[in-house]
Amino acid sequence: MKAKPLDDLLFELFSTCATLEELEAKLYQTAQALEDADENTQAAGAIAQSMKRFYER
């Protein structure tokens, strides 16, 4: 995962999630499945917040 640029990862995420709600669900579900769930949940929230504008059309 560290081999891909962040922009590419975010674009892939945007391409696979049709709605902001789906994006948030996947991010939070993944965050809870990893170690340091609290820290990862914060990161998931930041990612969702930063991508929110792409879903507002």
**Distance separating alpha carbons of residues 4 and 1, to the nearest angstrom:** 6
Neighbours of 23 (CB within 10 A): 21
pLDDT at 33: 96
**pTM to 2 decimal places:** 0.83
Q: How far apart are CA 55 and CA 37, in angstroms?
A: 26
Instruction: Give residue 3's pLDDT.
Output: 86
Tens digit of pLDDT at every position of the chain (57 positions): 568 998 999 999 999 999 999 999 999 999 999 999 999 999 999 999 999 999 997
Q: What local confidence, expressed as pLDDT, does residue 2 receive? A: 65
